[in-house]
Amino acid sequence: MKYSAIAIANAFIEQANNGKINNLTPMKLQKLMFFAQAWHLKSTNMPLFDGNFERWQYGPVLPEIYHEFKKFGYRSIHEIGSNMWNEFHKIDTYDYQVTEFLKQIVDAYGNYTGTELSWMTHQPETAWSNGQLGTIINSQDMINGKV
């Protein structure tokens, strides 16, 4: 099942609120979502959630998630986001495949800072580095790029 981006963001925020992710800043959330989408595309050839990442100065960004959480600046996010255009704000608690997948992303990347994760996205041959700033990172870029 493909979710909304806000539902996946909220799943990460819930994990942070439960002590499983330290210092979940907006930058860190963006990068965790990027890695989740990239790994999901690589393993299933299907996106985990709707939305397109763009190449911004500090790495891949989902504009809708940026605007939802930009009020936190460099501080940790502690509030679940809501998108008035989408009634599905959470993942299905019985979707064990997705909840386990997100746990694996947190286990792999959750201890890094947003800055460290941003640095990872800037490495040669990553989906972000294989294009110009301001352009969309498409699914094929994510499948072919290093993560």
pLDDT in tens, 13-55: 999 999 999 999 999 999 999 999 999 999 999 999 999 999 9
Q: Residue 35 belongs to what H/E stretch?
A: helix 26-44
Q: Is the pLDDT of residue 85 over 50?
A: no
Q: Is the pLDDT of residue 130 over 90?
A: no
Tally DSSP H helices, then E strands, for the chain.
6, 3
Q: How confident is the model at residue 78 (pLDDT cuts 50, 70, 90)?
A: confident
| Domain parsing of the chain, residue ranges | 5-144
pLDDT of residue 83: 55
Read out DSSP for 78-129?
-S----TT-S--S--TT-HHHHHHHHHHHHHHTTS-HHHHHHHHTSTTBTTT
Are β-strands 59-61 and 53-56 bridged in parallel, bridged antiparallel, or unpaired?
antiparallel
- C-alpha separations of 101 from 8, 17, 71, 119 in Å: 11, 18, 28, 23
Pairwise CA distance, residues 14 & 125, whole Å: 32
pLDDT in tens, 91-118: 766 678 898 999 999 999 999 999 999 9
Tokens of 115: 């800055």
Q: Is the pLDDT of residue 89 over 90?
A: no
The answer to whether the CB of 98 falls within 8 A of the CB of 119 is no
pLDDT of residue 101: 94
Residues with Cβ < 8 Å from 11, sequence gap 6 or more?
Answer: 90, 91, 99, 102
Q: Which of 121, 119, 15, 7 is nearest to 76 (CA)?
A: 15
Straight-line distance from the first to the last Cα atom of the chain, in angstroms, rounded to the nearest whole number: 23
Q: How confident is the model at residue 87 (pLDDT cuts 50, 70, 90)?
A: very low
Report the phi/psi class of residue 46: left, alpha or beta, with left for phi > 0 and alpha for psi in -120 to 50. Answer: beta
pLDDT of residue 2: 82
